[in-house]
């Protein structure tokens, strides 16, 4: 086990939901990747041997509050759960806030981030206020992939909450994410939509086989040229409006993106024995609930894990906000940071699980 180096701690008194709790600035190291990790640990003011959770952000570089378009869902979750008797650790991702990028940042994948989480568990185990047998993980989106990856390799994970976590490969998710918006455009012909879907499938398949970013980009350029050459004059006009799709795919050519496309979350889920709560919003247009919740359940059955609960929450989007359409364009317009019923379900399940 790698050493966890504990540095200075700043304690602050906070009042939330009529309960006083402590909030501390903490930091520790992932020495394997030379990452200096900074975050906030909240704990109830009174008591001891608290059950604890680590919050794991979604894809992209996120701060400890998982700030997205002005929303701070992890701050809301942390303060709510601390008000219900849990210690909660939330940290800045690599390159966000105070956390450093570490060694070889261009080669980072979800596996590297999983080790960051493991170091967070090791840190919490050094704290006398924490019940080391009741440390669990709450992962949102990509964090819902990472949590089972950690639990599959560590018996220190006592429970998992997956918030819009995936149950199918990134290839399946991206194929749907990048084709459904095109299917919804009435001006595009059925033939063009079919050609576009085939183009997308060819690119994602090539990314699965690529051994480097350079190989992936070469394949992308070749497949894109062949696709455009196959289009009629009218279809070429449609394609000219989709230049952003090419750059989205090019951005996915990095090590992280190719790992995401290849990785089947059931590989890890099928090894998880601890209790799991999996939640998805019915209006999630990034991690579509039907196939992903079904994939999570399939993985848990493979693991012969009977200690799980899977729920689709009506009317909520990928960020667990009440939404009209659920589309990402709507996120910034919504005032809510995190739906109260999702907090309640999560809190009740955690209390029952950690008794």
- Say whether 207 sits in a helix, a strand or coil: helix
Beta strands in 125-281 (DSSP E): 130-140, 160-163, 276-281
pLDDT tens column, 137-185: 999 999 999 999 999 999 999 999 999 999 999 999 999 999 998 998 9
CB 41, CB 89: distance < 8 Å: yes
Q: What does the alpha-carbon distance between residue 177 and residue 175 come to, in Å, rounded to a whole number? A: 6
Predicted local distance difference test score (pLDDT) of residue 16: 43
Specify the pairing of strand 19-30 against strand 35-44.
Answer: antiparallel
**What's the pTM value of the predicted model, to 2 decimals?**
0.91
Report whether pLDDT(9) > 70. no
Q: What is the DSSP letter of 199?
A: H
Give the pLDDT confidence score for residue 4 in this predicted structure: 38
Q: Are 61 and 121 in contact (CB under 8 A)?
A: no
Of 100-104, 150-154, 157-161, 299-303, least confident by mean pLDDT is 100-104
Q: Counting beta carbons within 10 angstroms of the beta carbon of residue 15, is it exposed (0 to 12), middle (13 to 18) or buried (19 or more)?
A: exposed
Q: Give residue 243's pLDDT.
A: 83
Mean pLDDT of 61-77: 96
CA atoms of 108 and 196, how far apart (whole Å): 30
Report, as an integer, the average pLDDT of 291-296: 98
Predicted confidence at residue 19, as pLDDT, reads 56
Distance CA 17, CA 36 (A): 32
CB contact at 8 A, 193 and 170: no
DSSP 117: H
pLDDT for residue 12: 37
Per the prediction, the chain carries an average pLDDT of 93
Q: Is 163 in contact with 287 (CB distance < 8 Å)?
A: no
Superfamily designation of domain 10-168+264-353: Alpha/Beta hydrolase fold, catalytic domain (3.40.50.1820)
Q: Is the pLDDT of residue 10 over 80?
A: no
Predicted confidence (pLDDT) at residue 17 exceeds the cutoff of 70: no
CA distance 214 to 338: 40
Burial zone of 69 (CB within 10 Å; 0-12 exposed, 13-18 middle, 19+ buried): exposed
Q: Considering only CA atoms, which of 206, 164, 201 is closest in space to residue 179?
A: 201
Nearest to 284 by CA among 272, 296, 276, 292: 292
pLDDT above 80: residue 3: no
User: In terms of Cα–Cα distance, which of 140, 87, 148, 75 is closest to 114?
Assistant: 148
Domain range list for the chain:
10-168+264-353, 170-260
The neighbour count for residue 13, using CB atoms within 10 Å, is: 9
Judged by phi (left if over 0) then psi (alpha if -120 to 50, else beta), residue 304 lies in left
The DSSP output letter for 93 is P
Residue 116 and residue 112: Cα distance in Å, rounded? 7
């Amino acid at each position: 086990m790698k050493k966890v180096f504990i540095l200075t701690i700043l304690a602050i008194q906070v009042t939330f939901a009529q309960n006083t709790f402590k909030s501390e600035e903490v930091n520790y190291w992932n020495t394997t990747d030379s990452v200096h990790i900074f975050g906030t640990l909240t704990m109830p003011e009174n008591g001891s041997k608290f059950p604890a959770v680590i919050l794991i952000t979604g894809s992209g570089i996120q701060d400890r509050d998982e700030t997205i378009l002005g929303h701070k869902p992890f701050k809301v979750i942390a303060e709510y759960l601390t008000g219900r008797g849990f210690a909660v650790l939330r940290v800045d991702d690599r390159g966000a806030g105070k956390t450093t990028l570490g060694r070889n940042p261009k080669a980072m994948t979800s596996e590297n981030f999983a080790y960051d989480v493991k170091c967070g568990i090791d840190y919490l185990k050094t704290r006398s206020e924490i019940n080391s047998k009741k440390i669990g993980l709450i992962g949102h989106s990509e964090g819902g992939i990472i949590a089972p990856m950690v639990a599959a390799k560590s018996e220190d994970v006592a429970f998992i909450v997956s918030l819009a976590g995936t149950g199918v490969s990134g290839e399946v998710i991206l194929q749907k994410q990048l084709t459904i918006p095109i299917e919804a455009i009435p001006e595009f012909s059925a033939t063009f939509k079919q050609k576009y879907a085939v183009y997308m499938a060819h690119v994602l398949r090539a990314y699965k086989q690529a051994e480097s970013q350079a190989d992936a980009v070469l394949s992308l350029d070749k497949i894109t040229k062949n696709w455009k050459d196959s289009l009629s004059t009218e279809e070429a006009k449609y394609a000219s409006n989709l230049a952003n799709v090419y750059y989205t795919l090019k951005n996915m050519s990095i090590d992280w993106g190719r790992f995401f496309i290849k990785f089947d979350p059931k590989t890890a889920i099928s090894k998880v024995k601890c209790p799991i709560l999996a939640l998805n919003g019915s209006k999630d247009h990034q991690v579509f609930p039907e196939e992903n919740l079904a994939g999570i359940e399939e993985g848990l059955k493979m693991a012969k894990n009977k200690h799980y609960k899977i729920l689709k929450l009506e009317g909520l989007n990928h960020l667990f906000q009440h939404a009209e359409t659920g589309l990402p364009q709507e996120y910034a317009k919504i005032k809510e940071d995190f739906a109260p019923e999702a907090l309640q379900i999560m809190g009740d399940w955690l209390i029952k699980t950690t008794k």
